[in-house]
Amino acid sequence: TPGSGNYWHAVVSANGYLITWGSETPATWRYDPVADAWTQLADCPTVISGGAYEAVNGTCYSFGNASDKTGTIYAFDVAAGSWSTLTVALIPARYCGSAAVANGRIFVCGGFTESGDSPAVEEFDPVTRTLTPRAPLPEASSYATAGGIRNKVYYAGGFSNAGVGSLDTCYEFDPALNQ
């Protein structure tokens, strides 16, 4: 496996491979399950940790960065083997959020800001590379997991810094209804 000390790093599936990046190094790695082999790829533009990670149509995305406390979005084109920094960013700037794909779009949910947890949800369109604010989570939180099933987004668990601590909730978001 690549490196040691990997935490707050990404692992996404794209083009039949697992792609991983982030943590304490800018290194990007590809795992080929057929060859059972790791290959180092182009480095990230910066050290990325605590982002929300997802992949659509052969491009891996990283939303937010705990390393520099920004809402920066980075994209890795698996076929080209190159990174880019997008001109759009999460608002509010946040990190340690979660991401899920529904209807070919990426939904970035929750996360931590300089003033605490965020209930923000944004829809990222990978074709136009734009963000659209959506209905917020019922509760501000970070460090949760999210997944897309049947064109809906599920946001589960996480942590609330508002005195609640660990959360045992699961929210369903329907993009068609914005709720």
pLDDT per residue over 42-85, tens digit each?
999 998 888 899 999 999 999 998 888 889 999 999 999 999 99
Beta bridge partners of 40: 29
pLDDT computed for residue 80 by the predictor: 95
* pTM (two decimals): 0.93
Mean pLDDT of 148-177: 91
What separation, in Å, do the N-terminal and C-terminal C-alpha atoms of the chain show? Answer: 40
pLDDT computed for residue 9 by the predictor: 77
User: Which amino acid, residue 78?
Assistant: V
CA 70/CA 114 separation, integer angstroms: 9
pLDDT computed for residue 23 by the predictor: 76
pLDDT computed for residue 60 by the predictor: 95
Cβ-Cβ contacts under 8 Å for 80 (sequence gap 6 or more): none
* Among the ranges given (9-18, 69-78, 126-135, 140-149), the one the predictor scored with the smallest mean pLDDT: 9-18
Mean pLDDT of 21-47: 91
pLDDT digits (tens, 9 = 90+) for 9-27: 788 999 999 999 887 788 8
pLDDT computed for residue 177 by the predictor: 96
pLDDT computed for residue 170 by the predictor: 94
